[in-house]
A and B are shown apart, each in its own frame.
Chain A
């Protein structure tokens, strides 16, 4: 069982470009999450989905969008990247809203 996979592992992106970070889980978890990790700030929730077909905004949603067409996939899209979106992005999933969250290995994104 792979758990959660994220792609790409890392990416350097020019400002203004569109980018989609991919996240796939094979645990059939209902809930999925996207976080960004920045030094000294811990992890901050960007968007979440409690079940396929529904999404919600987290603490820092501006500049990001998500979709949840099925249970397994939860892509995060930056429509027009800006340097302040340079960060490490983690996808996570849990069986239900209050259960333990399992994290992917992360995507390191640099926006120049």
Chain B
């Protein structure tokens, strides 16, 4: 079975500072990896995803994540955060094949709070 661990439950940062939200996964097969963002009182929205190809993937609002197979990690980074980035971020994994193909397993979530 696959699993996801988000190493930080809360990350406070100041505006314009860099941030890294950590995510490690475990799976016995190839995986697809996702980061979702949840703003207060809303559903989840896809931020970025890794399916195959380049291990560095980017979102339209400046976030990026790198798939590291040897370390089974998919950390999310942004070089300079804004107040509007305050939200809860979820890392998720799905198997790229097998009986669990397509089923997402989520991490516990990391609350990012950006202070002025």
Residue contact A103 to B108, C-beta cutoff 8 Å:
no
Residue pair A103, B43 in contact (C-beta under 8 Å): yes
* A98 lies within 8 A of B94 (CB): yes
Q: How far is the CB of A23 from chain B (nearest CB, A)?
A: 11
Interface flag for B9 (CB, 8 Å)? yes
Binds A, one of B44-52, B59-67, B79-87: B44-52
Q: Does A50 contact B (CB under 8 A)?
A: yes
Q: Is A48 located at the chain interface by the 8 A CB criterion?
A: yes
Q: Would you give the shortest CB distance from B101 to chain A, in whole angstroms? A: 6
Inter-subunit contact B101/A42 (CB<8 Å): no
User: Restricting to A29-88, which residues have a CB under 8 Å from any CB of B?
Assistant: 31, 33, 35, 40-45, 48, 50, 58-59
Would you call A96 an interface residue if the criterion is a C-beta within 8 Å of the partner chain's C-beta atoms? yes
- B45: A residues at CB distance < 8 A: 103
| Whole-angstrom distance between the Cβ of A108 and the nearest chain B Cβ | 9
Q: Mark A75-112, 1 if CB is under 8 A from B, else 0.
A: 00000000000000010101011101111111000000
- A40 engages B108 (CB within 8 Å): yes
CB pair A31–B102 under 8 Å, yes or no, is: yes
* Interchain CB contact (< 8 A) of A103 among B44, B103, B109: B44
Question: What are 20 A-B pairs with beta-carbon distances under 8 A?
Answer: A4-B43, A41-B108, A42-B4, A42-B108, A42-B109, A43-B90, A43-B104, A45-B103, A45-B104, A59-B105, A90-B44, A94-B102, A96-B102, A98-B51, A98-B96, A100-B46, A103-B36, A103-B45, A105-B42, A105-B43
B-side interface residues toward A, CB under 8 Å?
Answer: 4, 6, 9, 32, 34, 36, 42-46, 49, 51, 90, 94, 96, 101-109
